[in-house]
Amino acid sequence: MKLMYIASLDFYTKPNPSYHLMTTMLEDVLNNGIEVLLLGCAEDGISKHIPDFLEKHPLFTHHLVSSPKVAKANFARRYLNGIRYSNAIGKLIKKYIKECDLIFVQSSPTVLYTLHYARKYAGNKKIIYNVQDMFPGSSIASGVMPQKWMQVIFYALQKIAYKKSDIITAISEDMKDKLIEQGVSEDKIRVILNWFDDSSVHEVSWSDNRFVRKYNMSPEKFYVQYAGTMGYVFDYEMVINVADKLKEHKDIVFQMIGEGSQKELFIQTAKDRGLDNIVFLPLEQQEMVSDVYSACSVCFIPLKKGVIGNSVPSKAGLLMACKRAIITSVDKNSDYYNMVNKYAGVAVANDEPDDMVRAILQMNNSRDVCIQYGKTGYEYARELYSRSNNMKKYLNLFKECVADT
């Protein structure tokens, strides 16, 4: 079997969560004897796009399309560049499709154009569309697409994209519900969760923790941590409101780790409010994931209303693998909301900062509660969010699709 894997435009530009997930996926696919032809992007200014362990694998080949670097905030230029990228990928699909048995396409705002070429040249070969973020739903929920006319147009285009694929993989039950709401047949959808790498992600003790030593962290403090992208789906205003209500509690530290489009505004707002209980730190390298998450007392995942379903926080599984409790602000009664409350910590509604304050105070006053949430979350995630379990689902899906052609 040979898999044609079509990466999104920004897949290999930096070690983001998608990069981590899909490189481990490709590694497992190759190690199960499946050939992979990767079609992807070579962004200007990036010296290394393909990791050595893939490039040197005898079953792996790739072709990259050169692409200019475009600012993330410039939606129009990014979208036009995405169309240009899809057109170039289309030529590669036409050239190499005969040697492949199956097409796997990563999601992106311009995925419709890639799927158009995939459908045009695939014949009876199956096309799997892997949805990581729903477009335009995620953009609408995060507030970057307020124009109703744009929403109507892009929803219509996205429905065409759904029709051009044979199978759609969603990364949560909430996302599956969103797809069905938009007219996708339930029979076409497979739910396969984003995973943590159970061979490498694990709890790191305080005494052995490199992140703890790097920042001279105190075991007497209660660290409320967010580590990840501070973009439009990240509700920094919730962090500000909660930190403001807890600023007299000198033992509680809000540790904000990472970069993103909202970080500068977040920093300035915290400064204007005099919130010295919020500490901003840079993003760590991928190999520090276990140390970073193991260093927190509890992980704070603040999401804007409407985000869940259109997108899913990739860090939940990682945190549970590190036996850490989660507190999150999210759409009430979503599958994610219910999962966190049942197994991993406390979920509150997006507009209830007082409930978040109470949860943090309860955990700080009785830190055994955090430990217990960490244990129950770990037991829940060990099977559901593990790399080995979810990759079995992908491998079975690939075999099913090829057998049907």
Catalogue the long-range contacts made by 367-370 (C-beta closer than 8 Å, 24 or more residues apart): 367/222, 367/297, 369/325, 370/297, 370/298, 370/324, 370/325
**128 DSSP β-pair partners:** 104, 167
- SS3 call for 40: strand
Please provide the size of the chain in residues: 405
Q: CB neighbours of 207 closer than 8 A, spacing ≥ 6?
A: none
pLDDT value for 399: 95
pLDDT value for 376: 94
CATH topology of domain 206-384: Rossmann fold (3.40.50)
Q: How many CA atoms lie within 13 A of 310 on its CB side?
A: 23
Domain spans in the chain, listed from the N-terminal domain onward = 2-195+386-403, 206-384
pLDDT in 10s for each residue of the chain, 405 residues = 999 999 987 665 455 556 778 888 999 999 999 999 999 888 776 666 788 888 899 999 999 988 887 776 677 888 898 999 999 999 999 999 999 999 999 988 999 999 999 999 999 999 999 998 888 888 888 788 889 999 999 999 999 999 999 999 999 899 999 999 999 999 999 999 988 777 778 999 999 999 999 999 999 999 999 998 898 889 999 999 999 999 999 999 999 999 988 999 999 999 999 999 999 999 888 789 899 999 999 999 999 988 888 887 777 888 888 999 999 999 998 999 999 999 999 999 999 999 999 999 999 999 899 999 999 999 988 878 888 889 999 999 999 999 987
Q: Which of the following CATH numbers is that of domain 2-195+386-403: 1.10.3470.10, 3.20.20.450, 3.40.50.2000, 3.50.50.60? A: 3.40.50.2000
Residue with tokens 């990364």: 171
pLDDT value for 391: 92
| Burial (0-12, 13-18, 19+ Cβ within 10 Å), 395 | middle
pLDDT value for 188: 96
State the angle between helix axes of 367-384 and 353-365 in degrees (0 to 180), rounded to the nearest 10: 110
pLDDT value for 75: 79
Its sign, for the CA torsion 107, 110, 115, 118, is negative
Residue 338 structure tokens: 């219910």
